[in-house]
Amino acid sequence: MHTLTAKFQLSPNVTRLDVEARRIAEIRQPGQFVIVRRGIGAERIPLTIADADPAAGTIALVIQAVGKSTRELVALAAGEAILDISGPLGHPSEMISSGRALCVGGGVGTAVVHPIAQGLHQRGVEVISIIGGRSREWVIFEEELRRLGQVVVCTDDGSYGRKGFVTDATREVLEAGGVDIVYAVGPVPMMRAVANLTRPFGVRTIVSLNPVMVDGTGMCGGCRVDIGGQTKFACVDGPEFDGHLVDFDLLAERLGTYREFEQQANTPCDAGTCRVGLTHPTPTPIPQS
């Protein structure tokens, strides 16, 4: 069991849970993740390790409550416990040892670029972070990233920072020159847009992918992605890949595979008949690559 030591509301539907996981806190590296299971019979959920405190033996998990399982997780209170946390999993982030790095985070993806920015800063790399949200209340991890370098905040409505998308600010930084590598994490359209921006500049671009994962060992095949025409498994080959090689169309399609069943899981039982569980039709198999 992994006890929650603290809980923070970061935005209207994003929560940070600090959880006891001493062995993971001691050895985790930027870019790695864990798979969390709230209790017996619960869904296994992959979550990036957004921060860690080896001295306290805790890791930080940042969760966007969008479905039944994530809502159950963020409903936990400090002092309650999570049954299983498996990890650290995945390859650590590719790190440069000098120069300038641009970290672009959209929405909850900002929590994912945070440990990358931490690792770069510790190596003496100059870090510029561009982060965004719909409005001020949706901007997260600004304070943490400011400790590591320059931060540009963008909001869709202009209520905080500069008005516009993170891609607008990214273009300006690229045009100014001097960027050696770009890390982009956020919604698929955002990561695709950043990769398209950096391609003509010839700047290496790393993206963190979030396909459906179950076991975290590559056995289930649910996290298959196409990278440069080759099939890779995000849980063991990633989760980070060269953004210029990712088939974003296929990634977006697979992310929607279980959308209908997620909606059913969010539908309350009515008139004694529940729409989840054994009443579900057999899911449509994911096409083989």
Total count of residues recorded for the chain: 289
Topology of 2-89 in CATH? Elongation Factor Tu (Ef-tu); domain 3 (2.40.30)
Residue 1, CA distances (Å) to 77, 80, 155 in order = 14, 9, 39
Report the candidate in 19, 197, 169, 60 with the shortest Cα–Cα distance to residue 105.
169
Residue 171, CA distances (Å) to 7, 43, 70, 194, 266 in order = 36, 39, 34, 9, 39
Q: Judge whether residue 67 has pLDDT over 70.
A: yes
Round the average pLDDT of the chain to a whole number and report it: 89
112-127 per-position pLDDT tens digit: 999 999 999 999 999 9
User: Taking the domains of the chain in order of start, what are their residue ranges?
Assistant: 2-89, 100-208
Q: How does residue 289 score in pLDDT terms, banded at 50, 70 and 90?
A: very low
pLDDT for position 277: 42
Residue 84, CA distances (Å) to 21, 42, 66 in order = 10, 10, 21
The reply to whether 100-208 shares the fold of 2-89 is: no
pLDDT for position 41: 86
pLDDT for position 268: 59
6-50 per-position pLDDT tens digit: 999 999 999 999 999 999 999 999 999 999 999 998 889 999 999
Task: State how far the Cα of 87 lies from the Cα of 112, in Å rounded to an integer.
Answer: 16
The domain 100-208 having CATH identifier 3.30.450.20: the answer here is no
159-192 per-position pLDDT tens digit: 999 999 999 999 999 999 999 999 999 999 999 9
Token readout for 171 is 């273009």
Region 69-94: what's the mean pLDDT? 93
Q: How does residue 222 score in pLDDT terms, banded at 50, 70 and 90?
A: confident
pLDDT for position 59: 97
Token readout for 35 is 């798979």
225-237 per-position pLDDT tens digit: 999 999 999 889 9
Report the candidate in 246, 157, 129 with the shortest Cα–Cα distance to residue 193.
246
Q: What is this structure's pTM?
A: 0.86
